[in-house]
Amino acid sequence: MARTSYHGQECGITVSMQKLLLCCVVGVLSACAPSRLGQPAPLTPVFASPPATATAPTSTPTPSATLAPTVTASLTPTASVTASPTSLPEGCLQAEVVGDPTVPDGTALPPGTVFLKLWRVRNSGTCAWQWGDFHLVFAGGDDLSGPPQARAYFFSPEPQLSLDALGSTLWGNMRQTVEPGEVVDIPLMLRVPLRGSIYRSYWRLESGEGRVLANLWVVIAVAPGRWPTADSWAGEWLHINTWFLNNLKDAGTLVLEQDGEDLLGFFYPVGGPSNGDLVVVRGYVLDEGRRAMGVFSLVWDQPLDFTWTMLANRNQFSGEISSRRIDIHGSWCGGRNGLIPPACSP
């Protein structure tokens, strides 16, 4: 808070006693009334409505004819925004949300669905953005199985980023630099909760210094659908992947969806050199659900292969990591419902 100077009134000795008393009282009151200039604004943010070019909802969307809850366009968050540093030039780092290429607000998805959220954002500042210097930070609402903080990736809108691109040389068309005026898509992988309701998740695009460039959100509804069965691979797993991190604390949560024989999932390491990086998992189940195999990859790297075997309790798995291109071998194991992963050997 800025320091405020206070000034009393000078009281002359030739005035009457009444005027003297009145003068001194005024001086005391003046000293007790600080100026409003220099006081900071409260830290509770006001999330502005999306810009005119964004596809924000303007009426009550109806995600599904059989959907019980009503989705509203209320997008007022409750999270606090950290004050931004002032070391950079005014107007240097700014962003404008111009669209929702995937999962627009009010989208209804079945319980347990893993989905890719894209925000289309314009660099509306005067400074270029460099990959690796920015993060998506969870700010409030429901985290939808997302991480506390994720590295912000920048992808060209054309061709639009797709989960089907996993397994290609690069996942989509990632940008290293975003110049002022350029538009990019920023991805985040999330999961729909199992209980039917309306869910709002609030995020911030921040620089490495903590400067807030934009407030982001996603609003979804849980549509009627079949819940994952207890013996499926779907759910949230504690896991150890020795290729990334050989401990539970930093590995993050492995989030999986099983749709028939298909597996889709992700995890964000929360420690080590890959802290905040998105790792995408795609595969399929076989042997009546007892085994799973597929590929996983950082968004900017070549995919690696995995094989998992579900243990008899259906709440733990053990597996191996390998590559058909280079000599790589490792272990991957996991547990859920209060069970820790079985011992993994490097």
Q: What is the pLDDT of residues 273-320, one digit of tens each?
A: 888 999 999 999 999 899 999 999 887 777 899 999 999 999 999 999
Res 327: pLDDT: 82
CB atoms within 10 A of CB 41: 8
Determine which helix (DSSP H) or strand (DSSP E) holds 118, and give its type and residue range: strand 114-123
Contact 183, 160 (CB under 8 A): no
Residue type, 331: S
d(CA 72, CA 219): 9
pLDDT at residue number 301? 77
Domain ranges of the chain: 95-222, 235-335
pLDDT of residue 318: 95
- Predicted confidence at residue 206, as pLDDT, reads 97
Which two structure tokens, joined as six digits, stand for 45? 């943010």
CB 218 within 8 A of CB 200: yes
The third-level CATH classification (topology) of the domain covering 95-222 is Immunoglobulin-like (2.60.40)
Which pLDDT score, from 0 to 100, does residue 90 have? 76
String of DSSP letters for 160-179: PP-GGGBTBSSSS-EESEE-
Ramachandran class of 78: left when φ > 0, alpha when ψ lies in -120 to 50, beta otherwise: alpha
Please give the Cα distance from 265 to 323 (Å, whole number): 19
pLDDT at residue 45 in the model: 35
Q: What is the pLDDT of residue 329?
A: 84
CATH of domain 235-335: 2.40.128.120
* Residues 6 or more apart in contact with residue 24 via CB below 8 angstroms: 9, 11
Strand partners, 155: 174, 185
* pLDDT for position 132: 92
Q: Residue 344 CB: number of other CB atoms within 10 A?
A: 18
**Tokens representing 129?**
């953005």
**Which one-letter DSSP state was computed for residue 131?**
T
What lies within 8 Å, CB to CB, of 241 at 6+ separation is 251, 267, 321, 330, 332
User: What is residue 293's predicted lDDT score, i.e. its pLDDT?
Assistant: 96
Q: How far apart are CA 265 and CA 257, in angstroms?
A: 6
Torsions phi, psi for 237 (to 5 deg) = -120, 135
> Which residues of the chain fall short of a pLDDT of 50?
1-85, 169-170
The answer to whether 168 and 217 are in contact (CB under 8 A) is no
Using CA atoms, how far apart are residues 200 and 333, in angstroms rounded to an integer? 32
Q: Provide the pLDDT for residue 159.
A: 84
Residue 346 has a CB neighbour count (10 Å cut-off) of 9
